[in-house]
């Protein structure tokens, strides 16, 4: 993580996302802007939660890990999104691990400043309510859509989520083959079936399998197959 010491950029994000009026005036000088590189962990499941993050640029992956070491991806997040909101309200440790998929910028606000200057600030409370209820809605919608779509559509949507960031056209990622078991678990299929679909994608020129990675070759083809991204 790096702190971005650019007051102008921070102000630009506040204006672009219409956040200036959400935070109490006394809170604004205490906001910091942070950057994360792809693959960098923002926060880890089980750690103490002390900061509210506002995602203003980039894409995040939210996942949890079982006691046996198995990883379950929960969702991908793009702006505008909050990290640490549920934990702030519930006063709990971090529920999930958050990792940057693409270059990420986030506004950070320690809980102690929220408690001191904005605990009873109506615009912030309304904002938190909107974001948290939207999360529950998307989760319910995701569970329905994930079951209704065939595996090739789910995989195409997943590949688009992990490999591209609409807010950063220069970013193109790749799916490491070591994560295929986690991918199969996330989209709700078997590892064997996933490999069959990947072979077909390769034959159709949509993807290319290389040692250690799967590359997206035809983004438009995957987008047409996915129709819409069901994981964002």
Does 149-226 carry CATH code 3.40.50.1370?
no
Instruction: Tell me the whole-structure pTM to 2 decimals.
Output: 0.84
The residue extents of the domains of the chain are 2-142, 149-226
d(CA 35, CA 38): 10
What is the per-residue pLDDT for 116?
Answer: 94
d(CA 58, CA 69): 27
Architecture of the domain defined by 2-142:
Sandwich (2.60)
Place of tokens 């320690």: 110
Q: Residue 127 burial by CB count (10 A; 0-12/13-18/19+): exposed, middle or buried?
A: buried
Strand ranges across the sheet with 32-36: 2-3, 32-36, 104-110, 51-57, 81-83
Asked whether the bond before 227 is cis by omega within 30 degrees of 0, the reply is: no
Convert the pLDDT of each residue in 164-196 to its tens digit.
776 666 677 766 665 788 888 888 889 999 999
- Provide the 10 A C-beta neighbour count for residue 185: 16
Q: Between the CA of residue 186 and those of 47, 171, 181, 203, 227, what are the distances in Å?
A: 24, 23, 9, 24, 19
Question: Is pLDDT above 80 for 55?
Answer: yes
In terms of pLDDT, which residue wins out, 142 or 2?
2
| Secondary structure (DSSP) of 90-136 | HT----SEEEESS-EEEEEEEHHHHHHHTTT-HHHHHHHHHHHHHHH
What is the per-residue pLDDT for 43?
Answer: 96
What are residue 157's phi and psi, to 5 degrees? -65, -40
Least confident of 10-24, 111-125, 130-144, 188-202: 130-144
In terms of pLDDT, which residue wins out, 169 or 105?
105
For the chain, the helix, strand and coil percentages under 3-state DSSP, each to the nearest 5: 45, 25, 30
What is the per-residue pLDDT for 144?
Answer: 63
- List 97's β-bridge partners, or say none: 63
């Amino acid at each position: 993580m790096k702190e971005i010491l650019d007051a102008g950029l921070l102000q630009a994000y506040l204006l672009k996302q219409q956040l200036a009026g959400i935070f109490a005036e006394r809170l604004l000088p205490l906001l910091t802007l942070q950057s994360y590189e792809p693959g960098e962990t923002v926060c880890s499941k089980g750690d103490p939660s002390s900061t509210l993050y506002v995602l203003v640029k980039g894409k995040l992956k939210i996942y949890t890990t079982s006691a046996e070491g198995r990883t379950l991806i929960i969702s991908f997040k793009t702006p505008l999104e909050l990290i640490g909101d549920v934990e702030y309200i519930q006063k709990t440790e971090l529920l999930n691990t958050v990792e940057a998929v693409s270059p990420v910028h986030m506004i950070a606000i320690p809980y102690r400043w929220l408690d001191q200057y904005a605990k009873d600030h109506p615009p912030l409370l309304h904002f938190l309510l909107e974001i948290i209820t939207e999360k529950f809605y998307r989760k319910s919608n995701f569970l329905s859509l994930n079951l209704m779509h065939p595996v090739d559509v789910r995989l195409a949507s997943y590949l688009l989520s992990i490999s591209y960031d609409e807010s950063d056209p220069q970013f193109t990622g790749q799916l490491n083959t070591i994560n295929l078991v986690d991918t199969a678990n996330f989209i709700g299929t078997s590892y064997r079936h996933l490999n069959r679909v990947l072979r077909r994608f390769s034959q159709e020129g949509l993807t290319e399998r290389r040692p250690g990675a799967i590359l997206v070759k035809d983004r438009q083809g995957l987008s047409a197959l996915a129709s819409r991204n069901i994981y964002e």
